[in-house]
Structure 1
Amino acid sequence: MNIVIADDHAVVRTGFSMLIDYQPDMKVIGTAADGRQAFDKVNELRPDVLLLDLSMPPGESGLFAASRITEAFPEIKVLILTMYDDEEYITHTFKSGAHGYILKNSPDDELISAIRTIYNGKRYIDPVLMDEDMERLLKNDQYPEHSNEPFNILTKRELEILPLIAKGYGNKDIAGMLFVSVKTIEAHKSRIMEKLELTSRPELVEYAMKKKLMDF
């Protein structure tokens, strides 16, 4: 299977490449340092699997990239690599269209197993993170039922826009990042504020920080 690796640290890309290329049925055909590069590499090389870091400052994050890539190339399997072990991150990740979620400190053989699992059409969650909610997510494609959580309230596009607003980007900047019109961003912003019952940017920033959305 052909694989692309996207991570902002060159040493991580090299280490994972060596591990994967050692496998008789796997080959790394490209690497990227952020989400935009990952999209371009996937578009150029059409790999079977994309290993994608969740947080790649200052470039486009893994969540944005996963969302764009799975929409444009639904046949490509995306495995998220991260140090974040929170349930909210996992749920956001799967809602963005990714197929697997593994911690960077997992054993080498676990990473290889994760790649083979999603390549064969199944979802994967790092065993360290498994609980009843995650079991349901794997088996039934159901997200944990926490009605006040953003991933149950907001659409995928709104989840992309909210942290950008919270970070201080203007409507024009966000429109350019997401390749939509300024009016579209304004409409999304209004719906986000209404859904979350927020009335000001400081409230939105506080919400984004509390729900651990800033990295997205």
Structure 2
Amino acid sequence: MINDRRIRVIVGHYGSGKTEFAVNYVVNLSKLNKKVALADLDIVNPYFRSREKESILQEYGIKVISSNVKGLNSDLPAVTGEVLGPLQDKSYDVVLDVGGDSVGARSLVRYTEYFTSEDYDMFLVINGNRGETTSVEGVLKHIDSIEAVCQVRVTGIINNTHLLRHTTVEDVLRGQELCLKVSRKRNIPIKYVCAIEPIINRLPKDIEGSLFPIKMFMREDWM
């Protein structure tokens, strides 16, 4: 994580686990004594928004930025200008949790001047069990649509193939094969392989990408 660029943009289809990854990522960053800001730019999907965990994240010293329309039940496509502060202040490590499709990616357009090649990464979270991203062609189409809108490139792939708490090692490895094919097609490295801890401890140690244990912040135990 420490070698990732200062601004991390997290995208992924609905159901990919994009927001869960983003929340876990900033918590891990904070444990490295980083000054961390998480901006919730998902103005499309009203479910599982990172801002819902603001109180928990603040306990880790993480600055959470979301809509200037307050209230968890507010569902308005509004983004606060406060996002610019951490983007401009290079003492911050910034994570942008973005709506995963081309519509959601439009929220990035106003910030692209800060996405210099040495200062940003855009990570695509892939769940190979989701209908739109079960094939190489589907993932490539997804990448193309996002890049066309925001005019910045995906720089890393996150294998987050899962079935929530029913995930098996075989699920993750099947997703890894998909991610490897996409990686080879587009020359985009696999950065992380995610899974809940009982599964991550059983994955091959030589798997491509860093193993990334996931704690379920976004889902209650009954979900």
Structure richer in helix, relative to its length: 1
Which structure is higher in strand share? 2
The normalised TM-score by structure 1 is 0.35
Higher relative contact order (CA 8 A, sep 6+): 2
- Normalising by structure 2, report the TM-score: 0.35
Compare CA radii of gyration and give the structure with the larger one. 1
